[in-house]
Amino acid sequence: MLLKHESYRPAPVQHFSTMDGSQTRGQRRSSAPPFHTIDITMLVQEVIRLLLQAIYEPVFKDSSHGSRPGRSYQTALTQLQATSKGTDWVIEGSIENFFDVISHSRLRAILSRKICDGRFLNLIDTFQHAGYWSYTESLASPMLPAFQLSQTTGAQQNRLQGGIVSPLLANIYLHELDLFMEKRCVYSHYCAQYIRYLDSFIVMIVGSKLLAEQLSAEIKTFLSAELQLERGVEAMTLTNLSDQRVCFLGYEIAKRQHASFAAYTRSRSARAATLSNESREPIQLFVPGAVIQEQLKPFVARGKAVHHKARVNLPLPELLRLYNAEISGLYNYYCLATDVSSKLGKFRYYHYYSLIKTVALKEKCSVRQVISKYGVTVKLKQAAGTRQVFGVTYETQAGTQTMTYFNDSLKKKVLPIEEERYADRLTMQIGSAELNA
């Protein structure tokens, strides 16, 4: 009845400061609705989201990947690799504090093009005025926080920022940028590929610096004049991919390097052909070294694995689940990287012995005694044979169960997890691009 008579008003969100334990930023602003109103506000937001999704999902472009059915950061990165051969220059941009800097009147104008029901638009406005659309960080910040766990208890750190509808509204607002970039990348003289994940986007350009600067200037003008996102203009960067790697969605992006082979090729024509072929190869994805160093901090001291003192009092099954969640989360995010096996292999080594030393401290015994007591023989996933890993047994309603430390393969995945169906769409897109070329 409240919705029918337009008398429903969501309670204003409560803003508070929290300490960011995983970064050195200190305090950060977060928001949440009053506890007693969470159920009704989430229900109404979900209804709004479903209606907006039904209206806009059919018109969204293939270049948009964030917060969409069947899309993810993995589909964005896969499309990036598959369609960016020969990239010379990269434009990377992100719009921090998105809902704090956009024009809400402009958002309403965009919505009103497809939605004629003023009551529905007014309902969206009431949530905006109550602070539900406000974000304090980039919507498309690197995905590591998606699996980040409390260093002590292992509880997943889900921070309520903005609302259920916020990512979809960001997609609707930046769909204007998608349309603009489609004209620039497909129907103009630019040889470029554009991909967006919520409020972060990347443009891979084949061509000269002058051409890249020209396209960058056009994007800045559009963001500033048409979308009134002056702060988005400030965050844009232009990088020569031959000289420097760029970061997108937590991955490092670089060209494949074969310089040593070209250097040893005596024939000038053969060397030129080699370098030409290199320039047309797909870009590669890498795990940033800084990510591994950051993730290892609680488990390493002076170059050696150390116990995790804050976890000593945890029950063994809970302790093992926590360690498994950390390494499996890290691998599941970076499984598309070329160097995931080597980088995560290093992490696994220190991480595993930190677990062993934590159990040794807990039970006041040696590392050798822990391995002897809790060692479980498992089959190797990447080769023939077996090995012993730490494991514990515990009782459930189904009977006695055994859980071991992470024993899955760390090999690079060719296609994203559960996204194989996207390959057909990519193949069609690549074929169409080659025909147009």
Residues 295 and 242 grouped into a single domain: no
Do strands 200-205 and 386-396 pair parallel, antiparallel, or not at all (unpaired)? unpaired
Residue 86 lies in a domain: yes
Residues 140 and 42 grouped into a single domain: yes
Residue where a domain stops, chosen among 227, 254, 281: 254
Residues 301 and 400 grouped into a single domain: yes
Token readout for 67 is 């917060």
What's residue 186's pLDDT? 82
Residue 5 lies in a domain: no
Model-level pTM? 0.81
Residues 218 and 146 grouped into a single domain: yes
The total domain count for the chain is 2
Q: Convert 331-364 to b/e letters by CB count within 10 Å (16 or more is b).
A: bebbbbbbbbbebbeebbebbbbbbbbbbbbbee
Residues 230 and 307 grouped into a single domain: no
Alpha-carbon distance values, 396 to 76, 163, 400, 408 (Å):
40, 37, 6, 24
What's residue 384's pLDDT? 80
Residue 279 lies in a domain: no
Domain region containing 245: 14-254
Return the closest-CA partner of residue 232 out of 174, 169, 164.
Answer: 174
User: pLDDT (tens digit, 0 to 9) for every residue of the chain, 437 residues total?
Assistant: 555 656 677 777 765 554 444 443 444 455 555 545 557 888 888 999 999 999 999 999 999 999 999 999 999 999 999 998 899 999 999 987 788 888 999 999 999 999 999 999 999 998 888 877 764 444 554 444 434 444 444 444 333 345 689 999 999 999 999 999 999 988 788 899 999 999 999 999 999 999 999 999 999 999 999 999 987 777 899 999 999 999 999 999 999 764 444 444 555 555 444 444 555 678 999 999 999 999 999 999 999 999 999 999 999 999 999 999 999 999 999 999 999 999 999 999 999 999 999 999 999 999 999 999 999 999 887 778 888 999 999 888 888 889 999 999 999 998 655 444 444 444 444 444 444 44
Residues 325 and 234 grouped into a single domain: no
Token readout for 114 is 């497809």
